[in-house]
């Protein structure tokens, strides 16, 4: 377990002051931080909001209109704080009602000194794991919604390009062919030359659309060549000074790794061009036989990473979520380091289970 006792903050909810004082002394002796002691359910709720403890030790029987079970329901459901019940009552009807508040544990009085830290640590550990899982599920749901939106947007863009560019070229060829039948005195050589030119333009349009969807060199020549092409394209289009450092080696990575790395670099360069206000970008790619290391750094204006993560969770930054999702799918770890005025560094490290020779 990764819960350091001296960092765990505990709220005691017990209406018997002598019992509460004894529990507080025991917890302090174990290295826990007792943030406060409450004697009523409403007071406990108010203190959780104010003190943000890591766990609440809750007596079931409390003075006042609200007992420990009712308070625990609010603390768990609304404030997302784990509750451990401490009670001398083991009647089935009380335990069954207590279960409805989804507590993180029970301790029956009188308890031994060894029970208390064990139950607390398990409750905090379980809550941390569930919180991570909940955040991951929220991010996944947000990403799924945004992926569908982006998918439809991309389909719409491709449909417009096919209609406006390729469709117009084919229409022009059709008109020329009809003209050859209607106006037999028109020079056939000129019509053929015009048709050939239009077909060549259409071919270039198809190639451009195809490259935008997936560059063929990623499959034919590998990750390094595809990133170098992407860097050159970005530099030409945006005016950024994009440098790519890679030690040439006669290896090919697994297709899923190459695709994920290429898309991460592509998204990073797009974000830099849109938001970073940078003029230099450095892309690095290397591997040590066991791990692949990919980095994209810029000298732009930077940003607050906490705000960025919040926006990503809320669906306001689909690019960040997409990069994190791609890294996760190949067993990698993506880190984003940035600060206001200090540029940004995106780093990917993923295991190489197999490297294919070229």
Query: Helices (H) and strands (E) in the chain — how many of each?
Result: 12, 12
**Is the dihedral angle over the CA atoms 69, 70, 71, 77 positive or is it negative?**
positive
Across residues 319-332, what is the average pLDDT? 84
Which contiguous run of DSSP H or E holds residue 14?
none
Q: What is the pLDDT of residue 145?
A: 67
Across residues 58-80, what is the average pLDDT? 88
More confident residue, 340 or 201: 340
Q: What is the pLDDT of residue 1?
A: 45
Q: What is the pLDDT of residue 343?
A: 94
Class of domain 7-111: alpha beta
More confident residue, 271 or 248: 271
Share of the chain residues as helix, strand and coil, in percent rounded to the nearest 5: 55, 20, 25
Q: What is the pLDDT of residue 249?
A: 67
- Per residue in 117-127, pLDDT (tens digit) is 888 888 888 88
Note if the bond before 110 is cis, omega within 30 degrees. Answer: yes
- Residue 291: partners with Cβ closer than 8 Å, 6 or more residues away: 349, 350, 351, 352
Beta strands 344-351 and 333-338: pairing type? antiparallel
* Same CATH fold assignment for domains 7-111 and 214-357: no
Q: What is the pLDDT of residue 10?
A: 93
More confident residue, 44 or 106: 44
- SS3 (DSSP) at 117: helix
Across residues 123-136, what is the average pLDDT? 84
- Per residue in 5-23, pLDDT (tens digit) is 457 899 999 988 888 898 8
Whole-model pTM?
Answer: 0.52
- What mean pLDDT, rounded, does the chain reach? 82
Q: What is the pLDDT of residue 3?
A: 46
Cα–Cα dist 315/310, whole Å: 9
Q: Could you name the CATH architecture of 214-357? A: 2-Layer Sandwich (3.30)
- Per residue in 87-115, pLDDT (tens digit) is 776 667 777 777 777 888 888 777 777 78
Q: Where exactly are the structural domains of the chain?
A: 7-111, 135-212, 214-357
Question: Percentage of the chain surpassing pLDDT 70?
Answer: 86
Neighbours of 103 (CB within 10 A): 22
**Is the dihedral angle over the CA atoms 243, 247, 248, 251 positive or is it negative?**
negative
Residue 38 pLDDT > 70? yes
């Amino acid at each position: 377990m990764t819960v350091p006792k001296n960092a765990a903050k505990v709220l005691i909810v017990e209406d018997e002051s002598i019992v509460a004082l004894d529990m507080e002394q025991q917890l302090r002796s174990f290295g826990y931080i007792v943030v406060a002691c409450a004697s009523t359910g409403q007071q406990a709720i108010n203190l959780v909001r104010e003190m943000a403890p890591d766990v609440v030790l809750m007596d079931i029987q409390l003075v006042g209109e609200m007992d420990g079970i009712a308070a625990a329901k609010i603390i768990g459901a609304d404030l997302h704080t784990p509750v451990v019940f401490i009670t001398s009552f083991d009647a089935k009807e009380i335990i069954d009602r207590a279960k409805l508040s989804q507590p993180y544990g029970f301790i029956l009085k009188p308890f031994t000194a060894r029970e208390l830290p064990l139950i607390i640590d398990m409750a905090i550990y379980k809550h941390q794991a569930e919180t991570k899982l909940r955040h991951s599920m929220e991010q996944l749901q947000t990403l799924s919604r945004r992926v569908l939106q982006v998918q439809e947007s991309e389909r719409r863009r491709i449909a417009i390009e096919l209609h406006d560019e390729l469709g117009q070229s084919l229409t022009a060829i059709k008109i020329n062919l009809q003209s050859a039948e209607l106006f037999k005195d028109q020079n056939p050589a000129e019509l053929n030359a015009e048709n050939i030119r239009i077909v060549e333009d259409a071919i270039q349009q198809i190639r451009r659309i195809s490259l935008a969807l997936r560059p063929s060199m990623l499959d034919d020549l590998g990750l390094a060549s595809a990133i170098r092409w992407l860097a050159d394209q970005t530099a030409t289009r945006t005016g950024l000074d994009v440098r790519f450092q890679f030690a040439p080696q006669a290896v090919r990575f697994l297709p899923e790794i190459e695709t994920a790395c290429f898309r991460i670099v592509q998204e990073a360069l797009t974000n830099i061009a849109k938001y970073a206000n940078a003029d230099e970008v450095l892309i690095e790619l290397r591997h040590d036989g066991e791990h692949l290391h990919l980095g994209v750094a810029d000298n732009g204006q930077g940003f607050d990473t906490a705000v960025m993560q919040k926006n990503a969770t809320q669906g306001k930054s689909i690019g960040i979520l997409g990069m994190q999702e791609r890294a996760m799918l190949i067993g990698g770890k993506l880190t984003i380091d940035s600060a206001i005025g200090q540029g940004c560094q995106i780093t990917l490290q993923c295991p190489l289970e197999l490297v294919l020779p070229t």
